[in-house]
């Protein structure tokens, strides 16, 4: 059995009287897409922020490839190979698609970006290769500001890949997208995760995306992990059905 890329062990986080994350443990293997779901306020974002170092755990530990991330700042964690995409895309609107990816590559390789130096020509081929992987090569010379939202999300994926991550964290990757685009982005993500043997942890409110694209699903409610399994197991889980009762969400979009 392959060792997990990410291990969260007995994570704890409190905000005053709110026990946001209460003894949560899970792991993500190389090549695996793990969805973290749960109703509003379940503790998903808090878990994410414990993994990427934005928040410090009150207890427990996060390990990347067996190494503890305790005490490391977000940037150090990013350097160790934790990539992230955001609910709101973080690109520079006035720069071209290719330049945005080049900037990310330059940052990964610890170079200094300068429009006046030859740095602008650096990593051009690498940037184009990443854009090809996400199907954005034909738009390489367009400014980001004119891109459709779905294309921005694909660009954001290329930017995350520029850091050569071992773990990809995606917070609501398909928020704001049309249903057809959602499936396309997640198909693309899944093929990249498999090909590069990345581990991917994502949160998502759209249950069609979750059930259609996750290899495994973990469910949180009020800080606790209440279920773990395949789409089929999660759909049939009484505790999950109870939590989603009334919303119809766990019934798979009927
Ligand atoms: N910085 C904070 N200060 C105080 N309470 C917080 C803070 N961050 C989160 N919480 C509380 O912790 C609990 C878990 O919040 P969290 O944002 O992790 O849930 P979530 O599952 O991501 O919810 P959503 O789906 O709405 O984004 C909630 O009760 C929330 O109000």
Q: For 79-105, write each residue's pLDDT tens digit.
A: 899 988 765 566 777 889 999 998 888
d(CA 193, CA 199): 7
The alpha carbons of the chain give a radius of gyration, in whole angstroms, of 19
pLDDT at 253: 38
The interface predicted TM-score of the complex, written ipTM, equals: 0.97
Helix (H, G, I), strand (E, B) or coil at 10: strand
Q: Is the pLDDT of residue 246 over 70?
A: no
pLDDT at 195: 94
d(CA 210, CA 194): 17
Cβ(227)–Cβ(219) below 8 Å:
yes
Average pLDDT, rounded, for the chain: 88
- Nearest alpha carbon, ligand 1 atom 29: 41
CA of 113 to the centre of ligand 1 (A): 36
Superfamily of 1-81+167-180+200-254 according to CATH: P-loop containing nucleotide triphosphate hydrolases (3.40.50.300)
d(CA 133, CA 136): 8
- C-beta atoms surrounding 219 within 10 Å: 25
The pLDDT tens digits of the residues spanning 198-235 come to: 999 999 989 999 999 999 999 999 999 999 999 999 99
CA of 44 to the centre of ligand 1 (A): 8
The pLDDT tens digits of the residues spanning 161-206 come to: 998 999 999 988 898 888 888 999 999 999 999 999 999 999 998 9
User: CA-based angle 210:214:216, to the nearest 5?
Assistant: 115
Q: Which residue has the higher pLDDT, 25 or 152?
A: 25
Mean pLDDT of 115-139: 82
d(CA 63, CA 5): 8
Per-domain residue ranges of the chain:
1-81+167-180+200-254, 89-165
**Tokens representing residue 11 in the block:** 């994570």
Contacts of 236 (CB under 8 A, 6+ apart): none
Q: Is the pLDDT of residue 135 over 60?
A: yes
Secondary structure (DSSP) of 54-104: SS--SEEEEEETTEE-TT--HHHHHHTTEEEE-SS----TTSBHHHHHHHH
d(CA 219, CA 43): 10
In short, whether 43's Cβ falls inside 6 Å of ligand 1 is: yes
d(CA 163, CA 85): 12
Secondary structure (DSSP) of 145-192: GG--HHHHHHHHHHHHHTT--SEEEEESTTTT--HHHHHHHHHHHHHH
Q: Is the pLDDT of residue 10 over 50?
A: yes
Task: Out of 12, 13, 17, 42, give the residue to mutate to test ligand 1, the one with the largest number of ligand atoms within 8 Å of its CB.
Answer: 42
Helix (H, G, I), strand (E, B) or coil at 19: strand
Task: Out of 8, 15, 175, give the residue to mutate to test ligand 1, the one with the largest number of ligand atoms within 8 Å of its CB.
Answer: 15
């Amino acid at each position: 059995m392959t060792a997990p890329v990410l291990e969260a062990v007995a994570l704890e986080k409190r905000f005053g009287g709110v026990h946001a994350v209460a003894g949560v443990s899970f792991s993500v293997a190389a090549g695996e897409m793990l969805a973290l779901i749960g109703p509003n306020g379940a503790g998903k974002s808090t878990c994410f922020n414990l993994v990427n170092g934005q928040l410090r755990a009150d207890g427990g530990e996060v390990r990347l490839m067996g190494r503890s991330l305790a005490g490391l700042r977000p940037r150090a964690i990013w350097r160790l190979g934790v990539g992230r995409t955001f609910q709101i895309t973080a690109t520079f609107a006035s720069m071209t698609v290719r330049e945005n990816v080049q900037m990310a590559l330059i940052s990964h390789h610890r170079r200094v970006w300068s429009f006046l130096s030859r740095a602008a020509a650096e990593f051009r081929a690498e940037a184009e290769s990443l854009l090809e992987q996400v199907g954005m090569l034909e738009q390489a010379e367009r400014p980001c500001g004119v891109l459709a939202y779905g294309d921005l999300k694909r660009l954001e994926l290329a930017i995350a890949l520029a850091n050569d991550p071992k773990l990809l964290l995606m917070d609501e990757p398909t928020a704001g997208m049309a249903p057809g685009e959602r499936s396309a982005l997640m198909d693309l993500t899944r093929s990249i995760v498999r090909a590069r043997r990345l581990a991917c942890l994502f949160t998502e409110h759209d249950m069609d995306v979750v059930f259609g694209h996750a290899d495994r699903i973990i469910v949180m409610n009020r800080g606790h992990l209440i279920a773990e399994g395949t789409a089929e197991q999660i759909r049939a889980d009484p505790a999950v059905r109870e939590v989603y009762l009334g919303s119809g969400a766990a019934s798979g979009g009927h």
